[in-house]
Amino acid sequence: MGYQFKGFYIPERMMGGIKRYVEHGIPPGSFLTAVICNDFVRACETADDENLRNFPAYADYFYNEVPGRAWGNKKKMDAWMREKREEVK
């Protein structure tokens, strides 16, 4: 398991996309983008069955492990990606 929270988990296969986004500002796929942007409806639409069952782990992970300025809405996500791109320059 990639991350566990009260019996819920983030599958290991999803952790790479999360880490690439957080560490390097690389945009993830549609499901993780919806999670990062706090778009519950879109996250439900794009989640596979495993991720759909494990939403609480994503909420806990982003709340406790990811800087608040990196998630919460599209504006924050875009700013985070710009910030990370600037770090590389």
Tell me what pLDDT residue 74 has: 98
| pLDDT tens digits, one per residue of 57-75 | 999 999 999 999 999 999 9
Specify the number of domains making up the chain.
Answer: 1
Tell me what pLDDT residue 1 has: 67
Of 24, 48, 36, 31, nearest in space to 75 by CA: 36
The torsion angles phi and psi of 10, rounded to 5 degrees, stand at -100, 120
- Domain of residue 81 covers 3-88
What does pLDDT average to over the chain? 96
**Which of the four pLDDT bands, split at 50, 70 and 90, describes residue 2?**
confident
Please give the helix or strand (H or E) that residue 31 lies within, else none.
helix 30-36
Please give the helix or strand (H or E) that residue 9 lies within, else none.
strand 8-10
15-19 average pLDDT score: 97
Does residue 40 carry a pLDDT above 70? yes
Supply the pTM of this predicted model: 0.93
